[in-house]
Amino acid sequence: MRSTSGGLLVPAAALAALLAGGARPAAPGEFSRRAVLNGKLDLLQAEATADLIDAGSPAQARRALQQLDRGLSRRLEQLRAELIELEALIAYEIDFPEEDEGPVAPERVERAWGAARQRIAHLIATAPEGERLREGALLVIAGRPNAGKSSLFNTLLGRERAIVTEVPGTTRDAIEAYAVLEGFPFRLVDTAGLRESDDRVERMGIDVARRYLDAADLILFCEDAGDEGRGTGDGADRAAFLAACRAPVVAVRTKADLLPVPRPSSPVPQARRGRVWPPARARRRGAGGHPGAPPRGVGPGARGGRGVSDRAEGRCGRRGCRDPPARRAGRARRPDRRGNA
């Protein structure tokens, strides 16, 4: 048994020689089919093999490996054994009603039926979770026009997929894309802004958005953080929207980087050897360097996804990195005792 050194020409010539000698290429799934026919795999394990090949996220691969290890097969075997026992009890009562041992107690039949029914109900309850893991959970981004939905969609996706402008109503149709977030598969959907409109095309887009909302597994409801300060938010419409949603809703305050940062009226600096140093405790309390400043990551920003990446930067800090690389690169060096930078 020899192996080629790679490339294109040598493996192709070796394969041609094998085919000329009477060999044939294996059909798709032929080895799995032979394993099933010979009792080495069951049908669920064969399906798990295909799921493992098609897995696009770590969670899908873990579930496929669990099923390949007969996780679901063992549960079905237990259910089959309970149903056979129930069938035997009922058949014995019908065929031998006058035996010396007497009739089967109704409580015994009820216990057997209750155990089987509970196992069946548990299997059915886990079916939607398996479908979401296989196809990807449907995550719908909704909100009023110009609320930052497309910006959040592009940031979560990691690329420019949706058009972003300052004109309300830019997105007219639903845009769907596949993404892996924290190891789990998601189907991200950017929808048209929800509002009353006289435009026929925009109304059609809003109808499509509502159909996606009805089928969603998770909803990100975008709210412009500036609307609260301007008093332009409609609380009644927001409450009606949240009441109509059947899926869990996560409220996202967008455009947080456009809010004015409050500054302290009388900051108290810390003196050290004749120089003024910003207190480290105040720097940790807020983004503005004082206790009254809003913390970082209140909501995603309108430019560059600021606020979304703070979670990754926080991980860097917990691992012992004093400052994340992005902050260290753009920060000036602190002067030493002699005044050198």
Residue 306: the pLDDT is 57
Amino acid type, 161:
R
Residue 77: the pLDDT is 94
- Is residue 175 domain-shared with residue 239, that is, in the same domain? yes
Which of 131, 158, 182 is at the close of a domain?
A: 131
Q: Provide the residue range defining the domain that includes 292.
A: 276-325
- Is residue 248 domain-shared with residue 140, that is, in the same domain? yes
When pLDDT is cut at 50, 70 and 90, the band that residue 16 belongs to is: very high
Residue 1: the pLDDT is 57
Within 13 Å of residue 212, how many CA atoms lie on the same side as its CB? 28
Amino acid type, 169:
G
DSSP string across 213-247? HHH-SEEEEEEEHHHHHHT---HHHHHHHHHH--S
Helices 71-95 and 106-125 cross at an angle (nearest 10°) of 150
Mean pLDDT of 228-244: 70
Lowest mean pLDDT among 89-98, 216-225, 305-314: 305-314
Mean pLDDT of 103-117: 88
Residue 63: the pLDDT is 92
Name the pairing type of β-strands 218-224 and 249-254.
Answer: parallel
Residue 76: the pLDDT is 94
* Rounded distance between C-alpha atoms, residue 194 and residue 165, angstroms: 17
- Is residue 280 domain-shared with residue 223, that is, in the same domain? no
- Is residue 142 domain-shared with residue 169, that is, in the same domain? yes
- Is residue 153 domain-shared with residue 210, that is, in the same domain? yes
Beta strands in 259-320 (DSSP E): 270-272, 275-277
- Is residue 177 domain-shared with residue 226, that is, in the same domain? yes
* Rounded distance between C-alpha atoms, residue 247 and residue 215, angstroms: 8
Structure token digits, residue 269: 């600096």
Q: Residue 276 forms beta bridges with which residues?
A: 271
- Is residue 77 domain-shared with residue 123, that is, in the same domain? yes
Q: Residue 218 forms beta bridges with which residues?
A: 139
The answer to whether 83 touches 109, Cβ cutoff 8 Å, is: no
**What is the percent of the chain where pLDDT is above 90?**
37
Mean pLDDT of 109-123: 92
- Phi first, then psi: give them for residue 29, nearest 5 degrees: 75, 15
Identify whether 296 is part of a domain.
yes
Residue 22: the pLDDT is 93
Q: What is the pLDDT of residues 129-178, one digit of tens each?
A: 888 888 899 999 999 888 889 999 999 998 888 888 888 888 888 999 99
The answer to whether 221 touches 149, Cβ cutoff 8 Å, is: no
Domain count, the chain: 3
To which H or E segment does residue 137 belong?
Answer: strand 137-143
Q: What is the pTM of this model?
A: 0.64
Residue 113: the pLDDT is 92
Q: Answer yes or no: is pLDDT of 204 > 60.
A: yes
Q: What is the pLDDT of residues 320-334, one digit of tens each?
A: 444 444 444 444 444
When pLDDT is cut at 50, 70 and 90, the band that residue 105 belongs to is: confident
Q: What is the pLDDT of residues 260-300, one digit of tens each?
A: 776 666 555 554 444 444 444 444 444 444 444 433 334 56
Residue 329: the pLDDT is 42
Count of helices and strands (H, E) across the chain: 14, 7
Mean pLDDT of 235-253: 85
- 192 Cβ contact list (under 8 Å, min separation 6): 145, 169, 171, 172, 173, 174, 202, 205, 206, 208, 209
- Is residue 143 domain-shared with residue 91, that is, in the same domain? no
Closest C-alpha among 13, 245, 30 to residue 143 = 245
Q: Answer yes or no: is pLDDT of 335 > 70.
A: no
Q: Answer yes or no: is pLDDT of 336 > 70.
A: no
Q: What is the pLDDT of residues 17-62, one digit of tens each?
A: 999 999 999 998 899 999 999 999 999 999 999 999 999 999 999 9
Question: What SS3 class is residue 323?
Answer: coil
Name the pairing type of β-strands 137-143 and 184-190.
Answer: parallel
When pLDDT is cut at 50, 70 and 90, the band that residue 87 belongs to is: very high
Identify whether 268 is part of a domain.
no
Q: Residue 187 forms beta bridges with which residues?
A: 138, 178
- Is residue 155 domain-shared with residue 227, that is, in the same domain? yes
Question: What SS3 class is residue 339?
Answer: coil
Mean pLDDT of 238-248: 86
Identify whether 100 is part of a domain.
yes
Residue 121: the pLDDT is 94
Q: What angle do CA 175, 178, 181 make, to 5 degrees?
A: 120
Computed on alpha carbons and rounded to an integer, the radius of gyration of the chain in Å comes to 31
Name the pairing type of β-strands 175-181 and 184-190.
Answer: antiparallel
Q: Answer yes or no: is pLDDT of 228 > 80.
A: no
Identify whether 264 is part of a domain.
no
As a whole number, the mean pLDDT across the chain is 78
- Is residue 141 domain-shared with residue 127, that is, in the same domain? no
